[in-house]
Amino acid sequence: MDERVSVTDGFHLVVDALKLNGIDTIFGVAGIPITDLARLAQAEGMNYVGFRHEQSAGNAAAISGYLTQKPGICLTVSAPGFLNGMVALANATTNCFPMILISGSSDRAIVDLEQGDYEELDQMNAAKPYAKAAFRINKAEDIGIGIARAIHAAVSGRPGGVYLDITAVTLSEVIDAEIGRKSLVKIVDPAPKQIPAPENISRALALLASAKRPLIILGKGAAYAQADKDIRSFIETTGIPFLPMSMAKGLLPDNHPQSAATARSFAIGQADVVMLIGARLNWLLSHGKGPLWSDTTQFVQLDVSPTEIDSNRPIAAPVVGDIKSSIAALLTALKPGQIKAGAEWLAALAEHEKKNIDSMTKRLAADPHPMNFSSALRAVRDALAGRPDIYIVNEGANTLDFARNIIDMYEPRKRLDSGTWGVMGIGMGYAIGAAVVSGKPVVAIEGDSAFGFSGMEIETICRYHLPVVIVILNNGGIYHGDAPDAPPSPTGFIPHARYDKLIEAFGGAAYHVEDTSSLTKALTGALAAGRPAIIDCVIDPKAGTESGHIQNLNPKTSVAAGPART
């Protein structure tokens, strides 16, 4: 028998194990010791997307996991490459996105004795604090089991990031092909349903029925669950007003009559019973505490993780189970007319909504020169009208805050932003990941500072001919630009920078706009062309506030800058 068909190696087993479990895409950066793994994956029909930086590759893997409910795969080299990917892995874990970071690593015998191997690092133990799980594979015949365990850990229960360490020796190890084939594992039901207890369902419905001012808050966990029809049915059947967290926008369209988004602070402050669906009482909701929240508010919380219950406020009616099963159980148990939001509560919300809508309408109607965040984003909104199919990636301080309120969403899982950590630099990775797994156009709305974290990935976008249009709100700095003729401040950039020129180097389309009509026209044209593009959108360097809407989280010195005082 030909020896070449009777043996296999670790490289082939990794690819075979991934394909066996329906994983067909890898995002990564090639190099020692995983270059041949990337080449082989591509040769074997997998979709390999090569990046310029591992953090962006990891972000692409994480968002693909969020969109598909399959773990996104990021492939990196050892030590420095692994560490670059760790930022994305930690962010995936925090945001509950299923992702697997696979990194090649150095010889264990040398690493464990700290004898100075090439790119020596104990990667598995370094990853453990920032991942849902971490595993190391030391034998080729364990690759099937290792990948199976990583997939289970990434998607089951509360999803998260998993680290999988594969040594260079394991990748190149040659074993009998039949032994290798038998070592592979095809997973059965990697994310089994977690059915809530019947008493949890009864308690939750009873509490909601007793409410005079009920409110539902939808988190990105609700969007991830892909229980869109049942969630909408529950909200519409009960008549309870709802607030979507940023990445839950579109579960119900933003123009839905029960949306209380334009009266957010009032709704939260006055609600007597709040139902959290896949949302956590973390900093994004002021930890459920004052001054935003009433001390007497009672909570129903739907979450797959029992350890999330009572994390910041007492939860009167916990419903522990996966969101899809929990919503289905609530709908099944709900009696006709059992829960109805009161007319007085709805009228009070409508009154506050009208005031806020009138105020925003006036602000968006203004057309200052140079543009500010509101006017520029109104022009973007106008260009996106009638295009609910488009994915919106959004990051920056003021850019994120304003866009979240101005750009309406009409379909679920189409708004992708910095999420729970509020981390900058996700933009290009998320845009590439969304474009690759969906085949749909993506508009990345970026602050000029946020774009800088991952801007080199425009070459990746152009190399793969992805339909990504990047709108950069360019005010010349972090938060805002410097005063004319002033020396560079800690937050200032080169004024009048032309970001549109960057993409010309890689064959993409470039636009430079200074007014709203030109911006709408440029974005409409770029989307119609379906090719990579940057729109450099000049806005007032004085536009923007320090730290955006979370100024309270940025401590300020009370001592004037200058020489130390004694």
DSSP state of 195: P
189 located within any domain: no
DSSP state of 328: H
- Residue 62 to residues 288, 361, 471: CA-CA distances in angstroms? 28, 36, 22
The fraction of the chain above a pLDDT of 90, given in percent, is: 90
Q: Do 415 and 488 belong to one domain?
A: yes
554 located within any domain: no
State the pLDDT confidence band at 566, using cuts at 50, 70 and 90.
Answer: very low
41 located within any domain: yes
pLDDT in tens, 347-364: 999 999 999 999 999 999
Q: Do 468 and 331 belong to one domain?
A: no
Q: So what's the pLDDT on residue 117? A: 86
Q: Do 376 and 471 belong to one domain?
A: yes
State the pLDDT confidence band at 560, using cuts at 50, 70 and 90.
Answer: low
For strand 174-176 and strand 214-218, is the pairing parallel, antiparallel, or unpaired?
A: unpaired
User: How far apart are the C-alpha atoms of 394 and 436, rounded to whole Å?
Assistant: 17
Q: So what's the pLDDT on residue 550? A: 76
Report whether pLDDT(4) > 70: no
Report whether pLDDT(421) > 60: yes
pLDDT in tens, 467-491: 999 999 999 999 999 988 889 999 9
State the pLDDT confidence band at 112, using cuts at 50, 70 and 90.
Answer: confident
Residue 333 belongs to domain with CATH number: 3.40.50.1220
Q: Do 114 and 263 belong to one domain?
A: no
- SS3 of residue 214 by DSSP: strand
Rounded (5°) CA angle 168-174-175: 130
Q: Do 25 and 170 belong to one domain?
A: yes
565 located within any domain: no
Report whether pLDDT(290) > 90: no
* Residue 163 tokens, joined: 């680290």
Q: Strand runs (DSSP E) across 304-441, as ranges? A: 317-320, 391-395, 415-417
Task: Write out the residue range of the structural domain in which residue 74 sits.
Answer: 3-183
Find the mean pLDDT for residues 300-327.
97
Q: Do 227 and 303 belong to one domain?
A: yes
The fraction of the chain above a pLDDT of 70, given in percent, is: 98
Instruction: Share the mean pLDDT of the chain.
Output: 95
Position 237: which residue type? T
pTM equals 0.95
Cβ-proximal residues to 2 (8 Å cutoff; 6+ apart), any chain: none
Q: Do 323 and 405 belong to one domain?
A: no
